[in-house]
Structure 1
Amino acid sequence: MLSDLQRVLNTYWQQFLYISPKLLIAFIVLVLAIFVANHLSSLLGSKLRAKSHDPLMAEFLTRFSKWALILAGLVLAMEVVGLYALVGGLVAGAGLSAFIVGFALKDIAENFLAGVVLAFNRPFRIHDTVQIKDLVGKVEDLSLRVTLIKTFDGKHIFLPNAMVLREPLINFTRDGYIRQDFLVTVDLGEQGDSQQATALLLNYLKANKGVEVREPHTPYVILEKASANTADLRAYFWTFSEDYRRGTLELKSELMRDVRARLSDQGYAVQNVAQ
């Protein structure tokens, strides 16, 4: 038994000595491929960022080129070792079917392909504020597998690209402007004049520097409901949405907070201010 074991180990050792030069060359090829991939992708990335107006696409193409070069180096290293059949199988199975091999690779392939679609379709840009399901935040990054969103409370959420592509996506900042509204319930007093209260509320909106007053994004006020002495006035206003949290949410809060005092100065009692 010992002699058989010795003979088997000796055979393995001889085979290792025979293939070790090829293993060394394959290792060098793989290291060179990684080195070249890092430098070429970095060079490509700098060129794309300098000439492209879309940093999201530039970053995605940079990462894609890096991993494509590394994969090419890996295939070449396998050829050097002599794994011709395995390399041939990989080449023959290139395409969509090569990615979806078994359940474990299905999710990887799905997220990768979704990332490609998102990069070229571009439903958002870097720093756009988006909502996916109940998640709201700024887009920080798009990789080959996940989309990174940073919420307003500082949380980093890594969403699979397939989920981002599959779910309805609301982009709050793509147009550059966004409309907000709030409801003001005004006690009209004995005169019951809702038109004057409407004009006062509209002038208050126009006087705020954060409210857009140029066509077609002009503010307006409608009478939503009226009774004998009260009126529900719905105020609509547009604002620049690039900084969604500061330019929209904080502005709306400011308007809702100060409208009571402004109308009270003109003799109107504000009963309620709501969304």
Structure 2
Amino acid sequence: MDAGFLTILQDQLGDMAEATVRMLPQLAIGLFILVITWALAKGGRKIAHRFIGKTDIRPSLLTLIETVVTIFIWIIGLFATAAIILPGITPASILAGLGIGAVAIGFAFQDIFENFLAGVLIMIREKMRIGDVIECEGITGKVEKITLRETHIRKLSNEVTIVPNSILFKNPVEIFTDDPGRRHEVVCGVAYDVDLDEAAEVIEEAVKTCDKVDTSRGIDIFATEFNSSSVDYRIRWWSGSKPRDMHESRDQVIRAVKRALDDAGIEIPFPYVTHTFKEPVPLESK
């Protein structure tokens, strides 16, 4: 019994070794085709970048085209390699196998494929370019890199947040830098005994002196509310759309308005807060 088992095992191992030796030429040709495929994929990516990179195409869309070219070349190379190494396999049988396996793979890697398809659609659509400042789901920062699976967003405090593309595709995204100009605003209050027309004129002239303000697009001074100790104006102006443009222009406007109101003798009141202090309790009574 043991001798027969060993004989069968030796025969099978001999057959496997013989089949492997017979397949060595096919394996060598398949390996050579894989090397050629790798070289063609690398060269095809460079050629696509050279020709398409000269156009005004968006960087994210250029990345998508390069990736599609690379995947297409690799698919052809793998099909050719499989046909040489395993002659019994036809392209039809490979496609049929891929169709059956795609269902199982789709369930197993649902999130990965969802992010992949979302990445493709993000790269195709015109909005949200690399360099834009965006806000989505509480994440605010500059789009630094868009890949087929994820997007790198550098926050304003310089940390990088890696966001799955499905989040950016399924949720509202606010793009701050879609247009070079953006309207900013600040609230300023004046005392009740002040002439409101005069105060509005003083504020407007002060805002016009700020070089960070785009005066060609107009300045709005609206009296908006009777507050507890003041009449509030909403001051609106146009400046750059980047976060730093907002901070710089707001800084200039606040300084200029405060200086102008002080020079005109117009009071900027603040709420009067009363504080109640308790007398200290003697130690003896504790």
TM class by smaller structure: 0.7 to 0.9
Letter in 2 for 1:232: D
Aligned partner of 2:156 in structure 1 is 152
Instruction: Give the drift of 1:6.
Output: 2.9
Q: How many pairs does the alignment contain?
A: 265
Aligned partner of 1:125 in structure 2 is 129
Q: Which whole-Å CA distance do the structure 2 matches of 1:256 and 1:3 have between them?
A: 95
Which of residues 74, 95, 103 is equivalent to 1:70? 74
Instruction: Give the drift of 1:221.
Output: 1.1
Aligned partner of 2:244 in structure 1 is 246
CA contact (8 A) 1:26 1:80 kept: yes
Higher mean alpha-carbon deviation, 2-11 vs 152-161, is at 2-11
Instruction: Give the drift of 1:220.
Output: 0.7
Instruction: Give the drift of 1:53.
Output: 4.1
Higher mean alpha-carbon deviation, 33-42 vs 60-69, is at 60-69
Q: When the two structures are superposed, what TM-score results if normalisation uses the length of structure 2?
A: 0.82
1:31-59 deviation digits (Å, cap 9, x = unpaired): 21111111111121122121124222222
Instruction: Give the drift of 1:74.
Output: 1.9
Over the matched positions of the two proteins, sequence identity in percent amounts to 24
Aligned partner of 2:280 in structure 1 is none
Q: Which whole-Å CA distance do the structure 2 matches of 1:142 and 1:89 have between them?
A: 36
CA contact (8 A) 1:90 1:98 kept: no
Letter in 1 for 2:61: M
Q: Which has the larger radius of gyration?
A: 2
Letter in 2 for 1:151: K
Q: Which whole-Å CA distance do the structure 2 matches of 1:118 and 1:180 have between them?
A: 29
* Structure 2 residue 58 is matched with structure 1 residue 50: no
Q: When the two structures are superposed, what TM-score results if normalisation uses the length of structure 1?
A: 0.85
Instruction: Give the drift of 1:86.
Output: 7.7
1:232-273 deviation digits (Å, cap 9, x = unpaired): 1111111122xx12212333244335532332222123246x
Instruction: Summarize the Cα distance change of 1:204–1:53 in structure 2 as closer, same or farther, 3 Å threshold.
Output: farther
Q: Which whole-Å CA distance do the structure 1 matches of 2:88 and 2:247 have between them?
A: 61
Q: Which whole-Å CA distance do the structure 1 matches of 2:98 and 2:207 have between them?
A: 60
Q: Which whole-Å CA distance do the structure 1 matches of 2:180 and 2:212 have between them?
A: 13
CA contact (8 A) 1:115 1:144 kept: yes
Aligned partner of 2:20 in structure 1 is 16
RMSD of aligned Cα (Å)? 2.6
Matches within 5 A, 1:47-196: 47-82=51-86, 85=89, 87-92=91-96, 98=102, 101-187=105-191, 190=193, 192-196=194-198
Instruction: Summarize the Cα distance change of 1:117–1:229 in structure 2 as closer, same or farther, 3 Å threshold.
Output: closer
Aligned partner of 2:29 in structure 1 is 25
Instruction: Summarize the Cα distance change of 1:230–1:55 in structure 2 as closer, same or farther, 3 Å threshold.
Output: same
Aligned partner of 1:221 in structure 2 is 221
Q: Which whole-Å CA distance do the structure 1 matches of 2:90 and 2:105 have between them?
A: 15
Q: Per the alignment, in what secondary structure is the counterpart of residue 151 of structure 2? A: strand
Which of residues 210, 213, 216 is equivalent to 2:212? 210
Q: Which whole-Å CA distance do the structure 2 matches of 1:186 and 1:258 have between them?
A: 15
CA contact (8 A) 1:78 1:84 kept: no
CA contact (8 A) 2:210 2:256 kept: no
Letter in 1 for 2:191: D
Q: Per the alignment, in what secondary structure is the counterpart of residue 270 of structure 1? A: coil
Aligned partner of 1:199 in structure 2 is 201
Q: Which whole-Å CA distance do the structure 1 matches of 2:87 and 2:153 have between them?
A: 42
CA contact (8 A) 1:141 1:147 kept: yes
Q: Per the alignment, in what secondary structure is the counterpart of residue 188 of structure 2? A: strand
Q: Which whole-Å CA distance do the structure 1 matches of 2:103 and 2:257 have between them?
A: 58
Q: Per the alignment, in what secondary structure is the counterpart of residue 232 of structure 1? A: strand
Aligned partner of 2:262 in structure 1 is 264
Letter in 2 for 1:128: D
Q: Which runs of 5+ in 1 are unaligned?
A: none
CA contact (8 A) 2:191 2:267 kept: yes
Aligned partner of 2:233 in structure 1 is 233
Q: Per the alignment, in what secondary structure is the counterpart of residue 50 of structure 1? A: coil
